[in-house]
Structure 1
């Protein structure tokens, strides 16, 4: 019997990347593939621990049919800060590449060690674009087909693919990518306005780290030009101008992220229970303010307290996801008496450490989404027809905010005052604006329809994925 095609899928080691790439792995399985999913060792253990309640007696998990999770050391010490993305990106290239290459060669029986893949030879690779050159170089050395997957907006990918143009037009410096004369630019008249300070390499870490990341990304541009496909978790209706300008980038989204048969997949935090869904069931339709800021966003104490007081001031039911690493004295705490007044028995708010976000946003009780504008959250909000209060934190989130507020016009921006604080009064006022703006509601419902049509049979994203799959099988 002919063995199944076998894909090696490698995410960048951050939750916002692991989740969509694991969903891509499921989509490949549905098209007849076996998948080896190579996470960093650190994140592998987090994902497995978060999925512990789905594990069967034999150690396998029913949610990962024909997906084998493997761990690859990222080169950092156990206690090192993996939110230092520049160091993580550079170090993992040196340490992960030889391990991944060995994994592929063992699957082909090219070493004296036993084949430990258990699923036949690896025939192709799908690597997160943000890994840079090393993964695609491994694919070329081992002579397997390769694709790069960009899990954020196509517009942000376009800014990276346009680095040489931005240098030529004197928008950024050729040595370190820093801004020269222009604060903003557009790659084409129909694409979102971008700010040079928000380019991926200009808003992470120190200047030295930014320069290293800029050089890393330039190398990635050269590498990705040689792979077979560039995929993107977006859809034509969301970014038609970008896809028209960069036709090699194929939209295959929006991917349904983070959920499989009602269970979380790919998350780093283990769900406590589904109490928030039961709580939502008891709320009126379109009444709840959902607040979630992703896996990296951090507030100072004053801003955290203003957000809490703003949710109290708005007088609406709210569901607020507060990661366990930013409370209980580690960073800051709630305003005095807040939890007693508005959370818990008799209160109109609920605070949780984790939520099944896809299920929450699909719930009829949810009226709006206070979001950091990460791309996964943006696509989840759009595909569920939920208006946004856009509150970006760093990197691509600012471009996503431009899409939400200025291009698609499906949300409003949370704006800081002259002291850089988004006040409780502003938060409460914006929530009321969102609740009463019928135009925003109509536009986001229209986008929801287009997003669903794109992934149905005959839709553009569905057809693009089928074309990609057939090419990788042969």
Structure 2
């Protein structure tokens, strides 16, 4: 038996999916492991490495936590992607988006060999790999180490997806809009075919994208376990269902965003903000507590000008102070912005702030003047809204987002209201939500009859989130138990 001093340092390698929504929480994970004395290494590609390297320099300087980076080449030329298209967010929106996404996902299969070369060379004790690397279990087994799966969503998502694939209730409805109860799932959760991810309804033989995504959903049971960016108190019924009914080994170690303690880490999380952070805070400081609504649709949404016009008109009609984040490329061929009503910004001067590009979201959400949020229900944003303790207007678009909306508006009871979207948006050019619905939802969470009760409940969940990551909290304890288990495995 080795003495404690002879036990080698635990080494965990992280392989994130190359999209900002997956890379950002993976860096947070590596930071958490590193802060507990674990040697951590992130595997990435040349174009994606700056997202990690700049943050790692700050982490090393401020916390003394060393996180390594190993770079492998992404096979753009081999699969026919434009040079430098190494990130899902780099794929241009348009008619070819789905086709290019399929090619991008196929390219991931070509990374198995270079990743295995790293595993052979550095001999880590564990590989934490994103769900999209469907070969990661095979690779980890080859080197005799556990593979932990990171799927970037909640236990509620894991449970709902498992029940949907097990029972296929959508095959027994008479129309795409007929509601059905998800069998076997606690909580009487109802969905329609229109709200399901496209891959679930597709024939495997016809759709390569569907084939790959279905495969990812079987990998969690083959892996050693699943790390979940959530906390037990948020979804105890589904955390227990995952472990006890579905038999998934899960560790809830979130909210991961809370590992960012200082101003710089919050301000520069993900990318350089498109606005001076101090100017943004100065503007927020001029507002009353709980008086500003934050509107953001994540890094993947790309509304057309008609929909953006409806949002602008809905905001103005609601009379609420706001921060609105819009993708920076919303200009016509002549460089003009045709998506704002004439004179909008002048009329909104002092009432609103438009951020064109990337926003320091965590920094904004935790400011006391933020009283509500409009979200696309991507899991990172949803959990950051919960952590900040703000009510939400839910506006799901695709992927897991309708499931997340159900969690916010039904399971968590009264911390959000839907804007009224009833179907998956496969074409961002379609304008589906009118200004009247937007106005109504904004007023409901900010000044409606139930707004105070909603804010009270949301703030309670925010406090729970922060307690979970403190010493003795559920997420802190889960992470410590996971590291202890991996350390124990590494000694044999």
- TM-score, length-scaled by structure 2: 0.81
Match of 2:426 in 1: none
Q: 1:201, 1:213 within 8 Å by CA — same for their partners in 2?
A: no
Q: 1:166, 1:172 within 8 Å by CA — same for their partners in 2?
A: no
Partner Cα separation in structure 2 for residue 79 and residue 463 of structure 1: 40
Q: 2:126, 2:147 within 8 Å by CA — same for their partners in 1?
A: yes
Match of 2:438 in 1: 427
Match of 2:241 in 1: 245
Q: 1:294, 1:372 within 8 Å by CA — same for their partners in 2?
A: yes
Match of 1:445 in 2: 459
Partner Cα separation in structure 2 for residue 410 and residue 288 of structure 1: 16
413-422 vs 431-440, which moves further:
413-422
Partner Cα separation in structure 2 for residue 315 and residue 125 of structure 1: 50
Q: Are positions 1:74 and 2:74 aligned together?
A: yes
Q: Are positions 1:126 and 2:137 aligned together?
A: no
Match of 2:369 in 1: 365
TM-fit CA distance, 1:201: 4.4
Q: Are positions 1:317 and 2:324 aligned together?
A: no
TM-fit CA distance, 1:11: 1.0
Counterparts of 1:95-134 in structure 2 under 5 Å?
Answer: 96-107=111-122, 121-131=123-133, 133-134=134-135
After superposition, the Cα gap between the structure-2 partners of 1:16 and 1:180, relative to the gap in structure 1 and judged at 3 Å, is: same
Partner Cα separation in structure 2 for residue 21 and residue 28 of structure 1: 11
Q: 2:170, 2:193 within 8 Å by CA — same for their partners in 1?
A: no
> 95, 98, 108: which is aligned to 1:92?
108
After superposition, the Cα gap between the structure-2 partners of 1:301 and 1:209, relative to the gap in structure 1 and judged at 3 Å, is: farther
Q: Are positions 1:193 and 2:190 aligned together?
A: yes
Partner Cα separation in structure 2 for residue 156 and residue 417 of structure 1: 18
Counterparts of 1:40-189 in structure 2 under 5 Å?
Answer: 40-46=45-51, 48=53, 51=54, 65-76=65-76, 77=81, 78=83, 82=91, 84-94=100-110, 96-107=111-122, 121-131=123-133, 133-162=134-163, 165-167=166-168, 171=171, 184-186=180-182, 187-189=184-186
Counterparts of 1:378-417 in structure 2 under 5 Å?
Answer: 378-408=382-412, 409-415=414-420
Match of 1:6 in 2: 11
TM-fit CA distance, 1:420: 5.6
Q: 1:201, 1:211 within 8 Å by CA — same for their partners in 2?
A: no
TM-fit CA distance, 1:198: 3.5
Q: 1:304, 1:332 within 8 Å by CA — same for their partners in 2?
A: no
- TM-score, length-scaled by structure 1: 0.83
SS in 1 for 2:227: strand
Partner Cα separation in structure 1 for residue 272 and residue 338 of structure 2: 20
| Uncovered stretches (5+) of structure 1, i.e. residues with no partner | 108-120, 174-178
Match of 2:41 in 1: 36
The two structures, once aligned, show a CA RMSD in angstroms of 3.3
270-279 vs 73-82, which moves further:
73-82
Q: 1:19, 1:258 within 8 Å by CA — same for their partners in 2?
A: no
Partner Cα separation in structure 2 for residue 10 and residue 298 of structure 1: 27
Q: Are positions 1:255 and 2:256 aligned together?
A: yes
